[in-house]
Amino acid sequence: MSELALIERIGARARRRPGTELGIGDDAALLSVGGTAVVTQDLLVEGVHFRRATTSTRDLGHKALAVNLSDLAAMGAEPVAALVGLCLPPGGVSEAEVDELYAGMEALAERHGVTVAGGDVTAGPALVLAIAAVGRPSAGVAPVLRAGGRSGDVLCVTGALGASAAGLLLLERPELAGAVPGPVADRLRAAHLRPEPRVEAGRALARAGARAMLDISDGVALDGARLARASGARAVLELARLPLAEGVAEVASAAGRDALRLAAAGGEDYELLAAIAPAAVEPARRGAPCPLTPVGRLEQGPPGLVALDAAGAAVELEAGGWEHDV
d(CA 162, CA 260): 8
Q: Tens of pLDDT along 42-78?
A: 899 998 888 888 899 999 999 999 999 999 999 999 9
Residue among 52, 108, 44 at smallest CA distance from 79: 108
Domains and CATH numbers, the chain: 3-137 (3.30.1330.10), 146-315 (3.90.650.10)
Residue among 108, 117, 101, 147 at smallest CA distance from 39: 117
Q: Does 27 score more than 70 pLDDT?
A: no
Q: Return the DSSP state at 244.
A: B
- Position 325 scores a pLDDT of 46
- Position 133 scores a pLDDT of 94
Q: Half-sphere exposure of residue 182, counting CA atoms within 13 Å on the CB side?
A: 0
- Position 185 scores a pLDDT of 98
Q: How many CB atoms are closer than 10 A to CB 1?
A: 14
By the 8 A CB rule, do 109 and 115 touch? Answer: yes
Provide the strand spans (E) within 124-242.
128-137, 154-158, 212-215, 234-238
Mean pLDDT of the region 118-132: 92
- Position 137 scores a pLDDT of 87
Confidence band of 326 (pLDDT split at 50, 70, 90):
very low
- Position 294 scores a pLDDT of 98
Residue partners of 216: CB distance under 8 A and separation at least 6: 157, 161, 223, 267, 269, 270, 271, 272, 273
